[in-house]
Structure 1
Amino acid sequence: MLLPEVHVDEPITISAAAELLGITVDTIRYYEKEGIAPAPERGQDGWRRYDTATLSWLAGTVMLRGTGMSVQEMREYAAAYRAGADDAARLALLEQHHATVLARQAEVQRHLAALERKIEAYRETIAATGAQAVARPPARSTIG
């Protein structure tokens, strides 16, 4: 994956990788277990060590998940990459997802516009009745 770009001078631990990427250690382990992210090399102590290439792949995975790509779609993309699928095949997967994201974005924009209209209607109502609302004291409880 080309973006987002991540660089480390020395391989880092899974905890440091999680912090750098803004995800949990469990999320990284899950992506590895599901075949979405490559298993990193291990240090002499047996602990996972994440280099720039592995971190870049994980960063791309985080980005794809952030755009709403399903785990199944991420598995398919990773499998295509590992199987040596050509750039055109991988591009097709990403373009299909891109179209889905744009459609979802348009839907969110429609909902946002409706929400903004509703907020404005409430503001206008409050402004028109504001003097009356301020003049009325709040209801008091009769329970002492």
Structure 2
Amino acid sequence: MSDTLTPQATAERAGVSLDTLRYYEREGLIGPIARTVGGHRAYDDDDLFWIGLVTCLRDAGLGISELREFTALLRSEGRASDRVAFLQGHRRELEERKARIDLALGVLDDKIAHYSEQSTGANPG
């Protein structure tokens, strides 16, 4: 095994909390994690990749059950087209959410501009 990291060092490097790291492992989203002779978890670059992938997809709005489904697809001998279909479906959902957020940002910007003009016009200073 290449250089390994402790759970704390792994959490810091991955930008997640130690509780999140443990949760991902309990849920089967990462791992199995290698152990030292003393029984301590020893994370490597492959584990960091999985943690980064899970974190990114979580940030993209996937729930735990969806993450379980996707990680199972990645670990299976299944067809690549199944993985592509899964990701395309979630990409569409993310694009739709982005469009709603962009619309909301436009409304907020208009209101900020409107009230900024009112506040500078009402108090000429």
Q: TM-score range by the shorter chain?
A: over 0.9
Query: TM-score, length-normalised on structure 2?
Result: 0.93
Question: Residue 39 of structure 1: which of 32, 41, 54 is its match?
Answer: 32
- What CA distance in whole angstroms lies between the structure 1 residues aligned with 2:74 and 2:13? 24
CA distance in 1, matches of 2:78, 2:48: 21
Aligned residue identity for 1:71: I
Amino acid at match of 1:115: L
Please, what is the CA RMSD of the aligned residues?
1.2
In the other structure, the counterpart of 1:106 is: 99
1:89 shift after superposition = 0.8
**Runs of 5+ consecutive residues of structure 2 not aligned to the other structure:** none
1:121 aligns with 2:114: yes
Identify which of 65, 70, 73 aligns with 2:63: 70
Q: Who wins on radius of gyration, i.e. which is larger?
A: 1
Structure 2 distance, partners of 1:40, 1:84, is: 21
Which protein, 1 or 2, shows the higher relative CO under an 8 Å CA cutoff with sep ≥ 6? Answer: 1
1:5 match = none
* CA distance in structure 2 between the partners assigned to 1:28 and 1:85 by the alignment: 27
Q: Would you say 1:15 and 2:8 are equivalent positions?
A: yes
Matched to 1:20, the amino acid is R
Structure 1 length-normalised TM: 0.81
In the TM superposition, residue 95 of structure 1 has moved relative to its aligned partner by 1.0
Identity of matched residues, %: 32
Which portions of structure 1, spanning 4 or more consecutive aligned residues, are displaced by more than 6 angstroms? none
Unaligned regions of 5+ residues in structure 1, if any?
A: 1-8, 135-144
